[in-house]
Amino acid sequence: MLRFLLLAISFSWFSLAAAATPSDADFAAIKEKITKAMPGFSVDTMRPSPVPGWYEVEDGLQIVYVSADGKHLLAGDLYDVATRTNLTAAWREKTAIRLIDAIGEKNMIVMGPKQPKRTITVFTDVDCAYCRKLHLDVPELNKHGVKVRYLAFPRSGPNTESYYKAVSVWCSADRVKAVGIAKAGGEIERKTCANPVDKEYELGRHLGISGTPAIFFDDGRQLGGYAPVPQLLAMLGLAPAPAASKNGS
C-alpha cells in the first residue's frame, strides 16, 4: 500500500511539474499571489523544489509547493520514491533544530551533563501539569546522559500570570531552582529584567506549537506531549523500547 502511495505521489508530481512553466519566475509576484490567497501564510523563504518547475515556500515549519507561474499550490509531504524518504519531514526537522539552536543555550535553562549523549529541548509552561510531571523526570534523564533545555512557552500568552512567572524564573539568581519551585506550585519572587521569554514564545508559535510540553530531539524530531522516561530513552536510542503489556493497555 505504501509503495502504491509513493508511486502515485511521484506520478502526480511528475505530471504537474511537466505542465509547469520552467523557470525565470518572478519570486515577488509569486509571493504576492500566495499572500493574497492565504492571508495567514507568511512567506519566509522561497527556493526551487526537488521537482522541476516548482518552488518550496516556507512559513515556520509549514511548507507548500507552488508552480513557477504561481497559479497552482500543493500542501502536503513530498516523497523521494527511490529511497522512500519523506523530503518534507526531513526539511521540517532540520529547520526546527536550526531555529531552536539560533536561540542559544545562554537563553535557555539547561540541566544535565556537560558532555551529553543526547539533548532534548522543551517548550515549557510552569503552570502545565504535564510539564511539571516531565520536570520530575529530569534527574533520571540527566543520569542517563540526556541534557534537558527549557524554552519558555506560557500558553496563556504575553502579559498573563504564567508569562510573569516565566519572566520571574528567568530573572532569579538560580533559574534551575526557581523553575523547580514554580513548577511545584510554590511562590517565587516577582521580578523583571531583560529576558528571552517573548522571543521564545514567538519561536514556539512560529514552529506551530499550541500545547506543552513540546519536546524537540536533537535530530529535529518533535514529540508533542509528555512521555515517561523509558519511552523517551528508547526514542533517543539510549534504552530498549518498553515491552508492550499483555493486555495491550
- Which residues are within 8 A (CB) of 159 and not within 5 positions of it... i.e. 6 or more apart? none
Quote the cell numbers at residue 191: 521580578
Name the residue among 69, 73, 88, 75 with its Cα closest to residue 37.
73
Q: How far is the C-alpha of 4 from the C-alpha of 8, rounded, in Å?
A: 6
Contact 97, 219 (CB under 8 A): yes
Amino acid at site 23: S
CA 184 distance to own-chain centroid: 26
- Catalytic (active-site) positions: 125, 128, 131, 155
